[in-house]
Structure formats: structure tokens, C-alpha cells
Structure 1
Amino acid sequence: MKSLGASLHLGAILQEGGTTFRVWAPRCRGVDVILEGRKPEALTPRDDGVFERLVAGVSAASRYQYRLDGERYRPDPVSRFQPEGVHGPSVVVDPSRFPWTDQGFRGHALTDLVFYELHVGTFTAAGTFEAVIPHLPHLVDLGITAIEIMPVAEFPGSRNWGYDGVHLYAPQSTYGGPRGLRRLVDAAHAHGLSVFLDVVYNHLGPEGNYLGEFGPYFTDRYRTPWGNAINFDGADSEGVRRHFVDNA
């Protein structure tokens, strides 16, 4: 398999006139993108395991799935928003639409970091990113300089510890999705707080974990107590490493 280009971006990429859908799926013979209210669009295969197609007229907030080999409907492995949960359709997201106000924030030196580990689902009764915002001044008064947000990659259900996430690029929908997370980060920076994300890169949860249908993401050469080990160093694993590096 040909090596992936270093500058290759995967996912639903907005551009003038439409959206390019690009997915690494070397285990598939064919991939179609299924958009709500439109006919299926066959993606064009490349020699590096990637399938892609520019679909005209597709804008932000459009919902889509991939159809693998003409039969299995799956979310995008690099979906940025899963409003219907881990099994539902993905949503095209335009990151440039958010009105950031934190251009003057410069973070903290390591020696100045005082962390507060924060679980979004239980920190407030509402259990959302935005519900945290009114409490930020209190954390500042305590002497906190950084919040570490426990894992928020899309997981099954509405609240849990977050260590069984399956969509690493999609902030948990029941917490407020990507816009809610952006609002929290922007507000934290306005209060002089750095933000760190706790991420899980050694396994994925069992429910809604479809990566193995797209490519060789997992291996039986290693074991974890929580599920299949990630194939970081086996055959054809370049795309696997890219999945996690690009996420970071």
C-alpha cells in the first residue's frame, strides 16, 4: 500500500462549492457517502487505501454516513459531531464559524500550573460544557490555573467516565458537542485558565467501535484489560498512527 501524504486531511472537509469526503478504508472494496435527502455518491479509491470525492452543494450541518461495500452504514471514523450518538450519522462541521475571543491568551509555564480535574457530566446538574462556565471564577478564586477535562470523545449513553469513547474527533454530544467545548475553552481562557484534555489512545470502547471495518486499527499481538489493542506498529499501520497523531 502506498504511503499516505503528510498533508492529507481526512474527514468531511468544507471548501468552496461543497465538501470533500475522504476516508482511509483499506479493508473496503467500495465506499459511498450517504447524505440525507440526496442520492448515494461513490467515493473514488486511491492507491493508499483512501477513498475520496468532492460533493457539490454540501454545507456545514449536513448529516452523512459511509456505506461500506454496498451494505454497512457507518459513521465517519474522524467525525467531528455525532448528535445521535455513536451509531448515528456524522455531521459536517465548519470550525471557522466559531467566534473565538481568546487571541490574547498565552497559557502558563509548567511551573505555574495548578490543575483541577473536571468531569463534565457530574460537575454540574446539567452535565454540559456550557454549564461549567459560570463556575470558572470560583476555580480561579481557589488558585486553579488549569482545568483538565476528563475524556469527552463520543461514548455510548449520556454520562460516564469517558474511558470507552469511540469517536476521538467528536466531543460528546450530550455534553454539548464541538460548539459547547469551544465555548468552554474560550471562556476558560478569558478567565486566565489553561485547558487540557484527558485522551485515551491505548484502546476504544466496545459499543460503536467500527474502526476495524475500515482498516487494520487493532492487533491481537498485544492485550489490554479494556479491549482490543491499537495496531500502532504492525502491518499497514501508518494510517492508524495518523488517526491518533492528527487527533492530538
Structure 2
Amino acid sequence: MEGRLGATYLGDGRCRFLVWAPRAERAEVLLPGDRIGMERGSGGYFHAEVSDVEPGTRYRFGLDGGLGLPDPASRHQPEGVDGPSAVVDPGAIPPDLPGWNGIPISEYVIYELHVGTFSREGTFDGVVPHLDDLRELGVTAVELMPVAQFPGRRNWGYDGVYPFAVQDSYGGPQGLARLVAECHRRRLAVVLDVVYNHLGPEGEHAADFGPYFATRYRTPWGRGMNFDGPGSEGV
């Protein structure tokens, strides 16, 4: 089925929800005070287009009448890894610096940065006042250690469990967008350290939706992703 997994805000209070749950017989979008049935498509996908939904609206997916699970394709987990997901409108995120086209990789002088410990605030906004200092050091690129949603407020980031959601305690998607724009304003490139071979062990709900994990692969940090086993076409 075409379309982005998760919640896609369409504007004017409408949102499209799409979830892959091949083992479920039925699925619902759970909104505050409401349960909305989803239409089953091919390949184990369920979808629904819902009105009266705005950015920031909390939601979960209910499978076969269950109480509800966070969206594995969530863009924001404002209440942590086990809380509800939140609808995000990418069009409302602060725009990047107009005209920024990057710098050649040959000019990269990279400073690796851990958002949670780099400043007293431990947030994206807390990094901004120090960017001029990095520029004076000769840094031309800032590499952010993983910022995908992880359990708790402080973590190296390698236990992330929502690869598309920006850590809420750092400032969420809005905070990351502000930091990137401020970096580009100073002609600092931004590199993201990402983890795609596993998910952390705490707050991981993807396995409740489908065969996201492989039994043939093991990592010291969490279950390996099912990129080439049965059902991997949906992963």
C-alpha cells in the first residue's frame, strides 16, 4: 500500500493513519474518547482517514480490540516510549535556512556532540549558544549522536526504539529543526548518527505489530531487524 506509515497530517483537521499489522484481523485508531475502525488493505496494511485531528493530537493503534499501542512509525513521543504517539505536521516545523546547499565533504571538520550532556539544559536549544564557539575552533560540521526516541531522559542514544521520532526530552522535532537551522546559519553542516540494525530492549512495541525482528541475527544491544526473512517485505 502506498503512503507513509504512521500519521500523515493532511491539513484542515484531517489525518491519514496507516499501520502494518499482518497478524491482526482488525485494527483501530485510538483517539482521545474515540475508537475508529481502519480499513484492511493488501499486504497486512490498515488505513483510515480521520477528521477533527490536529497536530499534537495523541493517538494509539488498537489491534484486535486491544487497549492500544504506540505507533512504531511515530514522529513524536511526547510522553516517552510507552506513551501515546502524537500527530506531527511537518509543514509547521521551522524552515531551514533559505539558500543553504551544504559544503563539500572534503571540507568537513567534524565535532561529535551528545545533546544530553553537551549543555546544562541537555536540549537542542541548549546547544545553540555554543555554536559560535565551535565555529571559532574551526569546526565545519556537527555530528549529533543518535537522537531517535529512547527510554528516559538521558541515554547515549543507541537504545532508540522509534527511528522516526525525535527524542522528546531533547526538544522533539521542533527543537531539532531549530538547531539545524541555527547550524546552517553559521555554515555548519549537520550529520546524524543513526542506528538501523536493532532497536533497544525497553519500550519497543514493534514486535506486537508484525515480524519486525529476525531470530537468525543477534546483537549485544537488542534484537536484530528482519531485513531478509519471512515477512521482511513489510519491514
How far residue 73 of structure 1 moved from its aligned partner, in angstroms, is 1.6
- Alpha carbon RMSD of aligned pairs, Å? 1.1
2:194 paired residue number: 199
Runs of 4+ in 1 over 6 A off after TM superposition: none
Q: Structure 1 160/99 Cα, relative in aligned 2: closer, same or farther at 3 Å?
A: closer
* Aligned residue type for 2:30: I
* Contact residue 146 and residue 192 of structure 2 kept, 8 A: yes
Superposition deviation, residue 100 in structure 1: 1.4
Question: Aligned partners of 1:202 and 1:211: how far apart in 2?
Answer: 14
Identity of aligned residues (%): 53
Q: Does 1:110 align with 2:105?
A: yes
**Which ranges of structure 2 fall in alignment gaps of 5 or more residues?**
none
1:22 to 10, 18, 22: 18
1:65 corresponds to 2:60:
yes
Q: Helix, strand or coil: the match of 2:7?
A: strand
CA distance in 2, matches of 1:209, 1:10: 17
Indicate the residue corresponding to 1:164 in structure 2.
Answer: 159
Match of 1:181 in 2: 176
Partner of 2:127: 132
Name the counterpart of 1:245.
none
**Closer, same or farther in 2 for the Cα pair 1:150/1:236, shift >3 Å?**
same
SS of the equivalent of 1:53 reads: strand
Residue pairs, 1:226-241, within 5 angstroms: 226-240=221-235
Is the Cα–Cα contact under 8 Å of residues 16 and 48 in structure 2 kept in the other structure? yes
Matched, 1:39 2:38: no
Cα pair distance change 1:28/1:114, threshold 3 Å:
same
1:31 is aligned with what amino acid? A
Cα distance per residue 1:137-174 (max 9 Å; x no partner) = 01000010100100111111101101101011111000
Q: Deviations over 1:3-59 (max 9, x none)?
A: x44xx21111111441111111112221111111x3200111111111000111111
Question: SS where residue 67 of structure 1 aligns?
Answer: strand
What SS does the aligned partner of 2:65 have? coil
Distance in 2, matches of 1:147 and 1:16, equals 33
Cα deviation, residue 98, structure 1: 2.3
The residue type equivalent to 1:97 in the other structure is: A
One-letter amino acid matched to 1:25: A
Q: State the distance in 1 between where 2:231 and 2:94 align.
A: 40
Residue 99 of structure 1: CA displacement?
A: 3.2
Query: What is the letter of the counterpart of residue 30 of structure 1?
Result: R
Q: Does 1:212 align with 2:207?
A: yes
Distance in 2 (alpha carbons) for counterparts of 1:199 and 1:232: 17
Q: 1:104 is matched by which residue type in structure 2?
A: G
Partner amino acid for 2:202? Answer: E
SS of the residue corresponding to residue 34 of structure 2 reads coil
Instruction: Give the structure-1-normalised TM-score.
Output: 0.91
- For 1:131 and 1:16, locate their aligned partners in 2 and report how far apart those are by CA, in whole Å: 31
List gaps (5 residues or longer) in structure 1.
241-248
Structure-1 separation of matches of 2:106 and 2:126: 29
Matched length = 234
